[in-house]
Amino acid sequence: MDSHLPRFLYRKGVPVWRDVVVLKWVAQIASAVLVIAFIYFLISNLLEAAEARGLGLGYGFLKTAAGFPMAESVIPYDPSRSFGYALWAGFLNTIKVSIVGIFLATILGLIAALARLSTNWLVRNIAGVYVNIIRNIPLLVQLFIWYFGIFQQLPGVNQALSLPGPVYLSQRGLYMVGMLPTDTFSEWLPFLVGGLVLSWLAYRLLLAYQVRSGRATYPALVGLILLIGLPSVGWLIASAPPLEKSVPVLGNFNFTGGLRLTPEFAALLAGLVVYTGAFIAEVIRGGILSVSKGQIEAAKAMGLSSIQTLRLVTLPLALRVIIPPLISQYLNLTKNSSLAVAIGFVDMFFVGRTIINQAGQALPVFILIMAIYLSLSLFTSLILNFYNRRVQLVER
């Protein structure tokens, strides 16, 4: 030991430059200082540029009038509304395409997964071709094909393609029969929600009782009766039907009535659904294949019927494998919906870009948009962690 060095350079007889604890802290502080200095460098440049060019950095602009129209919106919108409101409308459009997309992609993925597991050689291979083609072509190229290659080249309104349904396809978009809410819808809504909640509750409680007592309580049947029964009662009680069928009719220049999907929305939806469906198909197929044959044979040996085997053995085991990657596919679909900007669907990203072009508030708008996407994905991983913890407990 170099005894001629001052004593404060030693801790428990070890020189500080060899002390692991000290070295670790030095490394941490050094790296933190480096990162902070880098961020400081960036921000000081930004402030300089902001002052020199008169860029605003606050969020005050969110209250000023937007001044640009939006092709479609879930909530009533006109250019006199504020930027903040426009961004909110864009966010709702993102959510709209995501929810519809997730729903349809799951159905498509499920069908494709079952087809890939089919014993029929042709069906199996058709599904395989679908998955292998779609997964190996960039989503943006597919969106271009859907939008520029298909929806933009549809005939005009007067020669609209008519599909059974009736569904009309034209340059103005997709028109189909819709169920539109009427005045009495708000009276009927409690019955609908009540039916959903009660049937779920009844199912859980009766199933728990059945497991505990061993007596058959028919949880699925009771749940189904409640699910269908309550809304039907509400429908009969209501003074007028709460939903009204609306059929698109060709007028002089355009269709009236019915449900309209704009070409942008329809193309984005089709692209996202077909693309994500292929990924979901692989997720579901992997999950079902992960259930070992022994489990199913054991269930058969216990005397469970094939439906009971599926419901009580195969599905719970497969779902545990399927759900985490499935949720991240849902998140991917939501994030991928930002590609809407390339085909002109007014989602949150599109609105954000328009605001940047109009008001020049690039940084605040961007921070806001990134924060929203980030909280969506953090929320998703929160759900995932919660789910993983739950299935892990079940496992042990």
Partner 1 sequence: MATSESIVTRPPQPGIVVWLKKNLFSNWLNTLLTVFSVTVIFLTARGLINWIFFQADWAPVVQNLRLYAVGPYPAEQIWRVWVIVYMVSAMMGVSAGKWGGTVLVFARAMGVAYLLLALLPIALEYLGINTRLMLGGNLLAILAGYLAGSRLERRNRLKARWVLLAWLASFGLTILLLGGFRNVAVLPRVESGQWGGLMLTFLLATVGIVASFPIGVLLALGRQSKLPIVKAMCITFIEVVRGVPLVTILFMTSILLPLFLPDTLRIDRVLRAMLGMTLFAAAYMAENVRGGLQSISRGQYEAAHAMGLNNFQTTLLIILPQALRVVIPAIVGQFIALFMDTTLAIIIGLLELLAVGSAILNSNPQWLLLDMEVYAFIALIFWVFTYSMAYASRRVEQAVGLGVR
- Per CB under 8 A, 384 contacts partner 1: no
- Residue 282: exposed, middle, or buried by beta-carbon count in 10 A (0-12, 13-18, 19+)? middle
The stretch among 37-45, 67-75, 205-213, 258-266 that binds partner 1 (CB under 8 A) is 37-45
- Residue 177: exposed, middle, or buried by beta-carbon count in 10 A (0-12, 13-18, 19+)? middle
What is the torsional sign of CA 386, 389, 395, 396?
negative
Q: Provide, rounded to whole angstroms, the least separation between the CB of residue 33 and partner 1.
A: 10
Write out the binding residues for partner 1, residues 315-374 only, by CB under 8 A: 335-336, 338-339, 341-342, 349, 353, 356, 362-363, 366, 369-370, 373-374
CA distance 34 to 127: 52
Find the binder of partner 1 among 22, 61, 100, 118 (CB under 8 A). 118
Q: Provide, rounded to whole angstroms, the least separation between the CB of residue 153 and partner 1.
A: 6
Q: Tokens 């728990």 identify what position?
A: 208
Spatial contact of 97 and 269, defined as CB atoms under 8 Å apart: yes
What is the torsional sign of CA 181, 187, 189, 191?
negative
Of 28 and 292, which has the nearer Cβ to partner 1? 28
Q: Provide, rounded to whole angstroms, the least separation between the CB of residue 99 and partner 1.
A: 17
- Per CB under 8 A, 382 contacts partner 1: no
Find the binder of partner 1 among 190, 378, 382, 392 (CB under 8 A). 378
- Per CB under 8 A, 21 contacts partner 1: no
Q: Provide, rounded to whole angstroms, the least separation between the CB of residue 186 and partner 1.
A: 37
CA distance 169 to 141: 22
Of 118 and 210, which has the nearer Cβ to partner 1? 118
Phi and psi at residue 328, to the nearest 5°: -70, -25
Closest CA to 271 of 101, 136, 113: 101
- Per CB under 8 A, 58 contacts partner 1: no
Of 50 and 220, which has the nearer Cβ to partner 1? 50
CA distance 3 to 41: 43
Q: Which residues bind partner 1 (CB under 8 A)?
A: 24, 27-29, 31-32, 35, 42-43, 45-46, 48-50, 55, 118-123, 126, 132-133, 136-142, 144-145, 148-150, 152-153, 335-336, 338-339, 341-342, 349, 353, 356, 362-363, 366, 369-370, 373-374, 376-378
